[in-house]
């Protein structure tokens, strides 16, 4: 495992799944996993299977809904779609995330500045 | 919050939709893999490599499924469910063990629940009256006196009214006439005439106690005035039995003692008043007590006070002392001999049962302890045979906590099933006890399996799981043993030594506790036997009391003599006589003093039980006439007063001298001569020593209003009743003859609560001895099975069967002796606590210890002999080959 890849923080996977579904519309599990991998590029390690644990959690909390449909290559696949509750949660969580990451940023910047002087 | 709630609902549902959800996830995963593989192939990968890469990207399929299940469902609960069903399978596999364990548990828990219900009903729960904690019992006489005969503790109406006026600590004082229930009335009208019991209560009593009528009303002040029209309240059972539960009975008039009485109400099915104050008595009706009518009857009312909020018993006591002083000052011309003592109503009702019930509770606890030790031993033994299975599971990766948890769950399955069975046992016992209408324990008919009893049962089973499960779990789940277990072939005695030491300790404790119970039970059984052998002063066998209540006012002696003449002429009747006071059941006292001719002022008054009787009573009762003569026809109405006294009274007045011919005065208005002296009669039953007694002739005293004909006959009650009906109906057409009771039954009733206690403790002791024998048997047979190989070798080397047997039996006896040593020591201490419940036997009595020891040793011998015989039949060849 290469050193410059990072593990996903607990709970952030849910956020990523919701964001993906918001951007891309209804998708199946494989599609979501691939999409996150593509966007994350070489930086994120994604164990594709963990997507499904996140999906079942979100579905049980009614953040997303699921329906069996037909995939692009004509196979039966389970498609997930974000719900109104999911969108609301995404907004809240995104704000939350940005606030936290902003704070972390500022602290780290200050620490880096001190180290430089 | 909503999302959280939805998620949990979904998780619970997921547990039940498992197969469908698993299938759905399988196809989702299949699609995922397929898609990924085809994408990878498109990117130019070889199919095999693509499939491999796709799987790697996904992670392990089985782990993934597990993760999915855990995230969507309730992994912890599902785990518990799996353990439970595994536990059930294990029990099903080991049916023999399960049957024994469940039986033992059901008995232990059933008995404890029953005893708890009894203790709860009588001692712990407040009496079922409103503000029961504020109700007090006010009684007359000297509180330290040993005899509590009713005349001594009842109060006069004047005292009652005086206390009502002057007491500051009591809001209300109400009364009932305890003597009224001794009288019977004749209920006539539609159907056979019937003898009924009625209690006179003050009009406010039921209201104060919170007794509410089922239909109709309670008494009002106007019902209690002198010469008020007769009005009664029916008990539920009479209403059901005689009037077919017809609600229209209220307002109707019925015939009692030949006069019209209006029914004003019916009480609810649970007659709390009677079950508290007259246990084992079937009261049929309640009438209003009239103060003015009862005023001059002497001590005739029992008083119940309702304290002001916050008043303590001590405050009430000192307040009543002040009241008594004030009453005596204001009314100097009233009888100055009265007191107003007070104790809480609950103490009055249940005080005498406190010790026996506490003892019963402890005994039941001991039985449960033995049950737990036994079960613990069984689980240990069973665990031993499962060590390899457990070790294997450990080796396959099950954690120590996981295994411990599973063993506890198994124990829980066992105990929970046992508890259910125990609940059934308790339900049966409680039902059995609650319908024992002849047992004189207050509130017994209110006994039922209620929520608190069930919670107690659940608590017991939790304790049982913890105490039985913990030991084997701790022993078995030790990871350090695993390697050893897998290697251990159970050869010789080395493998199980540590465990059998634990089991031996458990068994020793069982034997010790069983010994304590056996010794205690022995003491109580012997007390009961002593009581049954007590000379009552009369012979209750073949003696029948027939209630005869003449109707109307005026002298009854001619009517009574006529009845006696007819009955005496009946075939099969040896003796017949009349008394107004059946021993054991009724008591009342009058004053008497010996006349001092030289100094008429010298009146050494003493109280004595009074019976007004016909001639021939002593012959009928079997009471010995010690000196003088019985009443005869010469003791007529106008003849000089004749009095027969008992030996106790004779000895008190004229110790060492002859009493016959002495002049005495009864109540200051009946002068007469002592014409005879008879043996003492235990008028309160076998447990209470005789007091002073005197007998007057019914021809000379016109006081009795209710009579019992004492008939000595070998005829069965039914035949006697039929014979009496034939000869007496022509004389008195409405004579009920429904109260024909063998005297033995009356004597037995006074011993009923003791008998019940003896039965229960005796049963406990028997169960305890049985269980300890079972425990011994278990340990020894386990030991034998562990040592099969060793025994085989020894027999192959020439040991004969009897040597092997002797060795094993000796080991059993060693355990039994250890247990007995502890048990006898403990019993010695416990016996002292029992002292107040014993009669005629000392707690240190050696015979008792000897018998208990003998019984336990015999059981131990059997418990050891069975496995010993089994071992001695071991075929060395087979034994050496067993694993």
Query: CA–CA separation, B568 vs B709, rounded Å?
Result: 11
- Selected for mutation to probe chain A from B5, B7, B41, B50 (highest A CB count within 10 Å) is B7
Report the residue of chain B nearest A34, measured CA to CA.
Answer: B36
Query: CA–CA separation, B617 vs B611, rounded Å?
Result: 11
Q: Is pLDDT above 50 for B81?
A: yes
- For B498-511, what is the mean pLDDT? 79
Which one is predicted more confidently, B332 or B499?
B332
Q: Is pLDDT above 50 for B492?
A: no
Residues of B in contact with A85 (CB under 8 A): 2-3
- For B334-358, what is the mean pLDDT? 82
Query: CA–CA separation, B231 vs B238, rounded Å?
Result: 16
A49/B72 touch (CB, cutoff 8 Å), yes or no = no
Structure tokens at B445: 């008919």
**Residues constituting chain A:** 117
Q: Is pLDDT above 60 for B67?
A: yes
Query: CA–CA separation, B795 vs B782, rounded Å?
Result: 19
Element (H, E) at A101: helix A84-116
- For B657-676, what is the mean pLDDT? 90
Domains in chain A: boundaries: 12-116
Percentage of residues in chain B having pLDDT higher than 90: 9
ipTM reported for the complex, 2 dp: 0.85
Phi, psi angles (nearest 5°) of residue B324: -60, -45
Residues of B in contact with A33 (CB under 8 A): 32
B7/A52 touch (CB, cutoff 8 Å), yes or no = no
Check if the beta carbon of residue B685 is closer than 8 Å to that of residue B692.
no
Q: Average pLDDT of chain B?
A: 84
Structure tokens at B636: 């007529």
B36/A73 touch (CB, cutoff 8 Å), yes or no = no
Query: CA–CA separation, B654 vs B646, rounded Å?
Result: 12
Q: What are B720-760's pLDDT values in tens digits?
A: 988 888 888 888 877 878 788 899 888 888 888 888 888 88
Check if the beta carbon of residue B365 is closer than 8 Å to that of residue B112.
yes
Given this model, what pLDDT does residue B559 score? 84
Comparing A42-51, A93-102, B200-209, B865-874, which segment has the lowest mean pLDDT?
A: A42-51
Q: What angle do CA B92, B94, B100 make, to 5 degrees?
A: 100
Burial class of residue B450 in the structure, from the number of CB atoms within 10 Å of its CB (0-12 exposed, 13-18 middle, 19+ buried): middle
* Cβ–Cβ contact A76 with B under 8 A: yes
Residues of A in contact with B57 (CB under 8 A): 47-48
Phi, psi angles (nearest 5°) of residue B79: -60, -45
Query: CA–CA separation, B728 vs B566, rounded Å?
Result: 8
A60/B10 touch (CB, cutoff 8 Å), yes or no = yes
- For B840-845, what is the mean pLDDT? 84
Check if the beta carbon of residue A76 is closer than 8 Å to that of residue A68.
yes
Residue B488 CB contacts under 8 Å (≥ 6 apart), including other chains: B387, B495
A30/B36 touch (CB, cutoff 8 Å), yes or no = yes
Q: Is pLDDT above 60 for B147?
A: no
Query: CA–CA separation, B746 vs B280, rounded Å?
Result: 11
Given this model, what pLDDT does residue B335 score? 65
Q: What are B558-600's pLDDT values in tens digits?
A: 888 888 898 998 888 999 999 988 887 777 778 888 888 888 7
A85/B2 touch (CB, cutoff 8 Å), yes or no = yes
DSSP code of B245?
T
Given this model, what pLDDT does residue B2 score? 78
Given this model, what pLDDT does residue A116 score? 60
Given this model, what pLDDT does residue A83 score? 92
Residue A73 CB contacts under 8 Å (≥ 6 apart), including other chains: B35, B38
Given this model, what pLDDT does residue B493 score? 42
Of A60, A85, A89, the CB nearest to B11: A60
Residues of B in contact with A89 (CB under 8 A): 3
Report the residue of chain B nearest A60, measured CA to CA.
Answer: B7
Pairs of residues, one from chain A and one from chain B, whose beta carbons lie less than 8 Å apart: 78
Q: What are B780-826's pLDDT values in tens digits?
A: 887 787 777 788 888 888 888 888 888 888 888 888 899 999 988 88
Domains in chain B: boundaries: 2-73, 75-131+354-488, 141-339, 511-535+743-883, 552-733
Q: Is pLDDT above 70 for A6?
A: no
Half-sphere exposure of A112 (CA within 13 A, CB side): 6
* Cβ–Cβ contact A86 with B under 8 A: no
Min distance B389 CA to chain A CA atoms (Å) = 34
Report the residue of chain B nearest A83, measured CA to CA.
Answer: B3
Comparing B200-214, B357-371, B442-456, B651-665, which segment has the lowest mean pLDDT?
A: B442-456
Query: CA–CA separation, B274 vs B280, rounded Å?
Result: 9
Strands B589-594 and B606-613, how do they pair?
antiparallel
Query: CA–CA separation, B63 vs B166, rounded Å?
Result: 86
Of B28, B36, B59, the CB nearest to A78: B28
The strand ranges marked E within B3-107 are none
Comparing B269-273, B502-506, B628-632, B782-786, which segment has the lowest mean pLDDT?
A: B782-786
Residue B746 CB contacts under 8 Å (≥ 6 apart), including other chains: B540, B545, B582, B584, B585
Class for the domain spanning A12-116: mainly alpha
Query: CA–CA separation, B440 vs B751, rounded Å?
Result: 8
- CA end-to-end span of chain A, whole Å? 35
- For B635-644, what is the mean pLDDT? 89
Q: What are B417-427's pLDDT values in tens digits?
A: 888 999 899 99
Comparing B84-98, B328-342, B498-512, which segment has the lowest mean pLDDT?
A: B328-342
pLDDT band at B374 (very low <50, low <70, confident <90, very high): confident
- For B344-364, what is the mean pLDDT? 86
Of A47, A56, A63, the CB nearest to B3: A63
Residues of A in contact with B56 (CB under 8 A): none
B32/A29 touch (CB, cutoff 8 Å), yes or no = yes
Which one is predicted more confidently, B381 or B538?
B538
Q: What are A23-57's pLDDT values in tens digits?
A: 888 989 888 988 888 887 767 777 788 888 889 98
Given this model, what pLDDT does residue B336 score? 66
Check if the beta carbon of residue B415 is closer than 8 Å to that of residue B372.
no
Min distance A40 CA to chain B CA atoms (Å) = 15
Residues of A in contact with B31 (CB under 8 A): 28-30, 71, 75-78
Min distance B18 CA to chain A CA atoms (Å) = 14
Q: Average pLDDT of chain A?
A: 83
Query: CA–CA separation, B289 vs B225, rounded Å?
Result: 8
Given this model, what pLDDT does residue A87 score? 92
Query: CA–CA separation, B522 vs B206, rounded Å?
Result: 44
B25/A52 touch (CB, cutoff 8 Å), yes or no = yes
Check if the beta carbon of residue B713 is closer than 8 Å to that of residue B559.
no
pLDDT band at B476 (very low <50, low <70, confident <90, very high): low
- For B501-519, what is the mean pLDDT? 86
Which one is predicted more confidently, B189 or B108?
B108
| Rg of chain B over all Cα atoms, to the nearest angstrom | 38
- Which residues does B contribute to its contact with A (CB < 8 Å)? 2-4, 6-7, 10-11, 14, 24-25, 27-29, 31-32, 34-36, 38-39, 57-60, 63-64, 67-68, 71-72
- For B371-389, what is the mean pLDDT? 78
Query: In whole angstroms, what separates CA B868 from the centre of its chain?
Result: 41
Percentage of residues in chain B having pLDDT higher than 70: 94
pTM above 0.80, yes or no: no
Which is nearest to B266 in space by CA: B288, B244, B239, B229?
B239
Given this model, what pLDDT does residue B481 score? 54
Task: Count CB atoms within 10 A of the CB of residue B233.
Answer: 27
The strand ranges marked E within chain A are 27-28, 64-70, 76-82
User: Which residues 10-69 in chain A show a CB within 8 A of chain B?
Assistant: 28-30, 33-34, 47-50, 52-53, 56-57, 59-63
Query: CA–CA separation, B784 vs A37, rounded Å?
Result: 68
Of B6, B34, B38, the CB nearest to A62: B6
Element (H, E) at B232: strand B231-234
Residues of B in contact with A76 (CB under 8 A): 27, 31
Check if the beta carbon of residue B412 is closer than 8 Å to that of residue B465.
yes
Q: Is pLDDT above 70 for A7?
A: no
Q: What are B1-20's pLDDT values in tens digits?
A: 577 888 888 888 888 888 88
Structure tokens at B317: 């006591």
Query: CA–CA separation, B510 vs B726, rounded Å?
Result: 62
Q: What are B248-281's pLDDT values in tens digits?
A: 888 888 888 878 889 999 998 888 888 888 887 8
Min distance A78 CA to chain B CA atoms (Å) = 7
Most confident range, picked from A41-45, A105-109, B674-678, B762-766: B674-678
Which one is predicted more confidently, B145 or B123?
B123
pLDDT band at B198 (very low <50, low <70, confident <90, very high): confident
Task: Count CB atoms within 10 A of the CB of residue B578.
Answer: 27
A49/B35 touch (CB, cutoff 8 Å), yes or no = no
Task: Please state the three-class secondary structure of B710-771 as a single string.
Answer: EEEECCCHHHHHHHHHHHHCCCCCCCCCCCEEEHHHHHHHHCHHHHHHHHHHHHHHHHHHHH
Check if the beta carbon of residue B572 is closer than 8 Å to that of residue B717.
no
Residues of A in contact with B35 (CB under 8 A): 28, 30, 71, 73, 75, 77
Check if the beta carbon of residue B706 is closer than 8 Å to that of residue B586.
no
Q: Is pLDDT above 90 for B447?
A: no
- For B58-65, what is the mean pLDDT? 83
Most confident range, picked from A17-21, A70-74, B701-705: A17-21
B308-333 b/e with 16+ CB inside 10 Å = b? Answer: beebeeeebeebbeebbeebeeeeee
Given this model, what pLDDT does residue B679 score? 93
Burial class of residue B673 in the structure, from the number of CB atoms within 10 Å of its CB (0-12 exposed, 13-18 middle, 19+ buried): middle
Q: Is pLDDT above 80 for B343?
A: yes
DSSP code of B67?
H
DSSP code of B632?
-
Residues of A in contact with B63 (CB under 8 A): 49
Report the residue of chain B nearest A31, measured CA to CA.
Answer: B32
Which one is predicted more confidently, B93 or B629?
B629
B3/A53 touch (CB, cutoff 8 Å), yes or no = no
Strands B341-344 and B135-139, how do they pair?
antiparallel
Which is nearest to B316 in space by CA: B208, B173, B174, B205?
B173
């Amino acid at each position: 495992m290469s050193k410059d890849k990072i593990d996903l923080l607990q709970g952030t996977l849910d956020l990523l799944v919701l964001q993906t579904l918001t951007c891309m519309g209804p998708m199946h599990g494989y599609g979501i996993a691939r999409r996150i991998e593509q966007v994350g590029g070489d930086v994120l390690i994604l164990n594709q299977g963990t997507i499904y644990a996140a999906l079942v959690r979100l579905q049980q909390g009614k953040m997303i809904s699921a329906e069996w449909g037909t995939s692009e290559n004509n196979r039966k696949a389970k498609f997930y779609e974000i719900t109104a509750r999911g969108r609301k949660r995404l907004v809240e969580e995104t704000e939350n995330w940005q606030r936290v990451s902003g704070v972390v940023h500022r602290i780290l910047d200050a620490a880096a500045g001190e180290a430089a002087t | 919050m909503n999302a959280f709630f939805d998620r949990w609902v979904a998780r619970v549902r997921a547990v039940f939709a498992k197969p469908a959800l698993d299938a759905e996830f399988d196809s989702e995963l299949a699609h995922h893999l397929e898609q990924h593989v085809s994408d990878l192939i498109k990117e130019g990968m070889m199919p095999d490599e693509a499939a491999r890469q796709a799987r790697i990207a996904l992670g392990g399929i089985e782990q993934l499924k597990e993760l999915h299940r855990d995230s969507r469902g309730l992994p912890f609960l599902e785990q518990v469910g799996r353990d439970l069903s595994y536990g059930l399978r294990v029990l099903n596999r080991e049916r023999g063990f399960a049957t024994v364990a469940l039986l033992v548990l059901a008995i232990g828990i059933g008995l404890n629940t029953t005893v708890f219900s009894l203790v709860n009903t009588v001692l712990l729960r407040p009496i079922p009256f409103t503000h029961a904690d504020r109700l007090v019992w006010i009684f007359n006489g000297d509180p330290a006196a040993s005899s509590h005969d009713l005349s001594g503790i009842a109060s006069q109406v004047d005292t009652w009214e005086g206390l009502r006026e002057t007491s500051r600590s009591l809001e209300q004082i109400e009364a009932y006439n305890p003597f009224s229930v001794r009288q019977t009335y004749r209920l006539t009208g539609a159907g056979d005439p019937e003898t009924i019991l009625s209690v006179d209560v003050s009009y406010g009593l039921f209201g104060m106690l919170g007794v509410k009528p089922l239909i109709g009303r309670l008494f009002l002040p106007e019902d209690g005035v002198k010469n008020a029209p007769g009005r009664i309240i029916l008990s539920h059972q009479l209403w059901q039995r005689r009037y077919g539960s017809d609600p229209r009975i209220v307002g109707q008039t019925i015939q009692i003692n030949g006069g019209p009485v209006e029914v004003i109400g019916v009480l609810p099915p649970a007659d709390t008043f009677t079950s508290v104050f007259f246990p084992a008595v079937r009261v049929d009706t309640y009438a209003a007590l009239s103060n003015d009518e009862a005023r001059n009857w002497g001590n005739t009312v029992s008083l119940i006070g309702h304290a002001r909020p916050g008043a303590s018993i001590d405050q009430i006591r000192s307040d009543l002392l002040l009241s008594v002083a004030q009453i005596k000052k204001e009314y100097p011309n009233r009888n100055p001999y009265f007191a107003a003592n007070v104790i809480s109503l609950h103490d009055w009702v249940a005080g005498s049962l406190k010790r026996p019930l506490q003892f019963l509770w402890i005994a039941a606890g001991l039985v449960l302890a033995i049950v737990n030790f036994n079960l613990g031993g069984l689980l240990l033994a069973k665990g031993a045979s499962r060590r390899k299975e457990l070790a294997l599971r450990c080796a396959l990766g099950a954690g120590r906590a996981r295994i411990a948890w599973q063993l506890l769950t198994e124990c829980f399955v066992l105990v929970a099933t046992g508890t259910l069975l125990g609940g059934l046992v308790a339900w049966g016992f409680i039902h059995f006890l609650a319908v024992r209408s002849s047992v004189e324990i207050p509130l017994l008919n209110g006994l039922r399996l209620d929520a608190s009893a069930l919670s107690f049962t659940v608590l017991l089973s939790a304790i049982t799981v913890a105490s039985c499960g913990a030991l084997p779990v701790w022993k078995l789940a030790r990871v350090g043993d695993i390697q050893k277990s897998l290697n251990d072939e159970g050869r010789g005695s080395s493998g199980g030594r540590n465990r059998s030491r634990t089991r031996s300790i458990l068994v020793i404790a069982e034997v010790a506790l069983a010994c304590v119970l056996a010794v205690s039970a022995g003491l109580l059984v012997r007390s009961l036997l002593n009581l049954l052998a007590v000379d009552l002063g009369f012979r209750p066998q073949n003696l029948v009391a027939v209630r005869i209540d003449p109707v109307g006012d005026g002298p009854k002696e001619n009517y009574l003599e006529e009845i006696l003449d007819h009955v005496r002429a009946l075939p099969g009747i040896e003796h017949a006589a009349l008394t107004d006071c059946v021993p054991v059941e009724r008591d009342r006292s009058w004053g008497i003093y010996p006349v001092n001719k030289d100094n008429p002022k010298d009146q050494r008054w003493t109280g004595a039980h009074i019976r007004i009787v016909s001639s021939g009573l002593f012959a009928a009762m079997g009471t010995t006439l010690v000196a003088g003569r019985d009443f005869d026809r010469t003791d007529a109405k106008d003849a000089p007063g004749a009095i027969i006294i008992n030996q106790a009274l004779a000895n008190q007045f004229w110790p060492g001298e002859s009493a016959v011919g002495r002049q005495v005065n009864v109540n200051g208005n009946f002068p007469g001569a002592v014409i005879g002296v008879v043996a003492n009669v235990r008028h309160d039953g076998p447990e209470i020593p005789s007091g002073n007694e005197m007998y007057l002739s019914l021809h000379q005293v016109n006081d009795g209003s209710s009579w019992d004909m004492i008939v000595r006959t070998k005829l069965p009650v039914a035949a006697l009743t039929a014979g009496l009906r034939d000869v007496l109906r022509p004389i008195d057409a409405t004579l009920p003859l429904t109260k024909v009771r063998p005297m033995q039954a009356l004597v037995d009733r006074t011993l009923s609560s003791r008998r019940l206690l003896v039965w229960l403790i005796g049963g406990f002791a028997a169960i305890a001895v049985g269980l300890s024998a079972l425990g011994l048997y278990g340990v020894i047979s386990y030991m034998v099975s562990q040592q099969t190989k060793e025994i085989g070798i020894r027999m192959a080397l020439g040991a004969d069967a009897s040597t092997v047997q002797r060795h094993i039996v000796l080991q059993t006896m060693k355990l039994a002796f250890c247990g007995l040593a502890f048990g006898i020591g403990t019993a010695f201490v416990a016996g002292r606590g029992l002292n107040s419940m014993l009669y005629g036997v000392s707690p240190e009595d050696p015979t008792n210890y000897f018998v208990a020891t003998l019984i336990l040793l015999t059981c131990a011998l059997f418990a050891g002999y069975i496995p010993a015989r089994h071992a001695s039949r071991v075929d060395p060849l087979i034994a050496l080959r067993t694993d």
